[in-house]
Amino acid sequence: MSLIFSGIQPTGNLHLGNYLGALRNFVRLQDSYDCIFCVVDMHAITLWQEPAELGKSTREVAAAFLAAGIDARKHILFNQSQVRVHAQLAWIFNCVARIGWLNRMTQFKEKAGKDRENASVGLYVYPVLMAADILAYRATHVPVGDDQKQHLELARDIAQKFNNDFGQPFFPIIEPIIQGEATRVMSLRDGMKKMSKSDPSDYSRINMTDSAETIALKIRKAKTDPHPLPETLAELEKRPEADNLVGIYAALSDKTREDVLREFAGAQFSAFKGALSDLAVAVLGPIGAEMQRLMKDPGHVDRVLRDGADRATALAEPVLAEVERIVGWLKP
C-alpha cells in the first residue's frame, strides 16, 4: 500500500522555496495518497533554537500546512517530538547506518561549516532520524525539494541493510517524489545559492507571510542581468538569476519554463518582474493571510497537532514493536 510521509523544520522564515518545492506538492498529492505530515522539531534542534521561539515556529509551520490546504482530518499532521517512536527507531537505525555513509552527506558539510568539530552529534546523525521518521510508518513515497535527495538515498540504504541484516523484507523501498518546475528555488540575491530560511538577508527570499508590498519590493530588487528575456531554454540556462525567476513564474502559474519564455521572450526584466510580483501576491497572499489568522488561534493549532500525534502514535507503535522483536530485544 502507498503511504506518503514528509516533514518541514520549524526553524523560522518559511519561504517560497518551501512552498513550491514541498507544501504545494503535498496539497496536490493528498487527493491520491494517504499522507502523514510532520513538523520536525527534533530535527530543528540539531542547530541551536531559542526555546521561546521554537514553539511559535512549530505552530507557524503547522499553520502553513493548514493554510496551504492540507486536510488534517483526512490525513495526519503533527509535530515530531510528540511521537516517541521517532527517537526510539532512530537509535536502532544509528546501529544500522554506517559512518562512511554519513560522511558523504553534503548537507552536513554545508551546515557544519568550517568548525566541524564543534557541530552537534545530532546534526551528523540527522539523516538517520529522517529515515526513522519515514520508516516508522513504513511510508513508501516521500515528496521533497531537490536538496533532500541524498538523505532519501541514505534512508533507502538503511531500509535495505536492515532487511538484509535481519533476513526479511520488513521495510519498503522508499520512492522520492521530486516534481515541478521549482524543486530548487534559488536566492533572489544570488542565482547560485539556494533560497534558505537561514540566509542573513531577508531580501534573498519571499516569506510566506510577507505582505503584498514586501513581495513586490523584494522582486523589484531581485538580482538580474542587463539582457531582455531569451527565446530558448538553452540561453536561459546560462543565466542563473533569469532562470530562477522564470522557474518561479512557471511554478506559480503551473506552466513550463518554455511556456513562460513564449510569453515573455524579448521582454525587459522591469515588465517581467511586475507580472511576477502580481502572480506571487495572488498565490501567496491568501495563504499568508490564513496563516496569520491561524497563528492568532494557537489553541486550535495545538489541538490539531495533538490529535495528529495520537493517530501517528497508533500507527507507529506496532511497527516499532515488530522492529524490536526482529532485533531481538527481550520484552517480557
Nearer to ligand TRP, 5 or 272 (CB): 5
Residues 195 and 251: their CA atoms lie apart, in Å, by 15
Residues 98 and 121: their CA atoms lie apart, in Å, by 15
- Residues acting as catalytic residues: 111, 194, 197
Residues 86 and 76: their CA atoms lie apart, in Å, by 15
Residue from 10, 13, 35, 43 binding ligand TRP (CB under 6 A): 43
Tell me the backbone φ, ψ of residue 238, rounded to 5 degrees: -80, -5
Residues 191 and 106: their CA atoms lie apart, in Å, by 19
Q: Which of residues 156-195 bind ligand AMP (CB under 6 A)?
A: 183-185, 194-195
Of ligand TRP, ligand AMP, none, which one sits near residue 131, judging by CB under 5 to 8 A according to partner kind? none
SS3 34: strand
Of ligand TRP, ligand AMP, none, which one sits near residue 284, judging by CB under 5 to 8 A according to partner kind? none
Residue nearest to ligand AMP (CB): 21
77 to 7, 21, 156: CA distances (angstroms): 10, 18, 23
Long-range contacts of 109-116 (CB under 8 A, 24+ apart): 111/46, 111/47
Of ligand TRP, ligand AMP, none, which one sits near residue 191, judging by CB under 5 to 8 A according to partner kind? none
Residue from 40, 83, 96, 178 binding ligand TRP (CB under 6 A): 40
Residues contacting ligand AMP: total by CB under 6 A? 16
Residue nearest to ligand TRP (CB): 7
Q: Is 85 exposed, middle or buried (0-12, 13-18, 19+ CB in 10 A)?
A: buried
Q: Which of residues 137-156 bind ligand TRP (CB under 6 A)?
A: 142, 144, 148, 151
Q: Provide the CB-side half-sphere exposure for 188 (13 A, CA).
A: 24
Nearer to ligand TRP, 75 or 151 (CB): 151
Residue window 18-47: x/- pattern of binding to ligand AMP, with contact defined by CB under 6 A: x--xx-------------------------
Of ligand AMP, ligand TRP, none, which one sits near residue 281, judging by CB under 5 to 8 A according to partner kind? none
Under the rule (CB under 6 A), what is the footprint of ligand TRP? 5-7, 9, 40, 43, 130, 133-134, 142, 144, 148, 151
